[in-house]
Chains A and B, each alone.
Chain A
Amino acid sequence: GAGVSQSPSNKVTEKGKDVELRCDPISGHTALYWYRQSLGQGLEFLIYFQGNSAPDKSGLPSDRFSAERTGGSVSTLTIQRTQQEDSAVYLCASSSYHTGISGNTIYFGEGSWLTVV
């Protein structure tokens, strides 16, 4: 696609439920990132996928969070047994894997706003 696409745009869920957030990166981009932004806060890195390499999961806050990337394209971030502190905007981004600044520029989607009630 022309840009990074995320769905749903907004999600309200009850505490304890599981949620799935989807990200479709820019066509041809091999790198995909998930970030979390709580209200009024900066961006917190969650996970990074690059091609067929093992993902960098160092930012996942707990084992309730997981992500997968199927076929090297679409990614799903899953939050199990949601808690109120999980309420945030979840931003997905992608980049190509070429040298130079074009290959190192990361483009973001519009985010998925998650509210846990």
Chain B
Amino acid sequence: AQTVTQSQPEMSVQEAETVTLSCTYDTSESDYYLFWYKQPPSRQMILVIRQEAYKQQNATENRFSVNFQKAAKSFSLKISDSQLGDAAMYFCAYRSAGTGRRALTFGSGTRLQVQP
């Protein structure tokens, strides 16, 4: 079974600075997808960024980028020029590309605080 680990329960960053959230995962599969979701106090899970395992190029979405290290099974999220609206819980998630378990497996989350 796949597992996702987020080792930082809480992180804090100054507005306009850069912060990196860590995520590692364990799998025996070679083809899969990785995601970062943001959950503000409104509770809705909002997709931040996604990565296909067979693509070596790191995904980027505006101020958000990932550092995907397939051999190390690491998928960290970098937020540049942090804004107050970035404050939220961030969840890393794994999804198999195969025909087995198709639901997302989530990490335990990292709470990000942004200081003005």
Chain A residues in the interface with B (C-beta under 8 A): 31, 33, 37, 41-43, 45, 48, 50, 56, 59, 89, 91, 93, 100-101, 104-111, 113
Q: When A89-B43, A106-B95, A111-B44 are in contact, do A42 and B33 touch as well, CB less than 8 Å?
A: no
Question: How many B residues, CB 8 Å from partner?
Answer: 23
CB of A42 within 8 A of CB of B107, answer: yes
User: Nearest Cβ distance between residue A1 and chain B, in whole angstroms?
Assistant: 15
CB of A56 within 8 A of CB of B52, answer: no
CB of A56 within 8 A of CB of B103, answer: yes
CB of B43 within 8 A of CB of A111, answer: yes
B44 / chain A contacts, CB cutoff of 8 Å? 108-111
12 A-B pairs with CB atoms under 8 Å apart are A33-B104, A45-B104, A45-B105, A50-B102, A59-B103, A104-B33, A105-B47, A106-B35, A106-B104, A108-B37, A110-B42, A110-B44
Chain B residues in the interface with A (C-beta under 8 A): 33, 35, 37, 42-47, 50, 52, 91, 95, 97, 101-109
A111 / chain B contacts, CB cutoff of 8 Å? 43-44
User: Nearest Cβ distance between residue B108 and chain A, in whole angstroms?
Assistant: 5
Out of B47, B52, B106, name the residue touching A42 (CB < 8 Å).
B106
Q: When A33-B103, A50-B102, A110-B44 are in contact, do A104 and B95 touch as well, CB less than 8 Å?
A: yes
Out of A37, A91, A101, name the residue touching B52 (CB < 8 Å).
A101
A104 to B37, CA, bound (A): 14
A43 / chain B contacts, CB cutoff of 8 Å? 45, 91, 104, 106
A86 to B101, CA, bound (A): 25
A111 to B44, CA, bound (A): 7
Q: When A104-B97, A105-B47, A106-B104 are in contact, do A42 and B42 touch as well, CB less than 8 Å?
A: no
CB of B35 within 8 A of CB of A105, answer: yes
User: Nearest Cβ distance between residue B80 and chain A, in whole angstroms?
Assistant: 22
A56 / chain B contacts, CB cutoff of 8 Å? 101-103
Q: Which residue of B lies closest to A50 (CB)?
A: B102
Q: Which residue of B lies closest to A43 (CB)?
A: B106
B47 / chain A contacts, CB cutoff of 8 Å? 105, 107
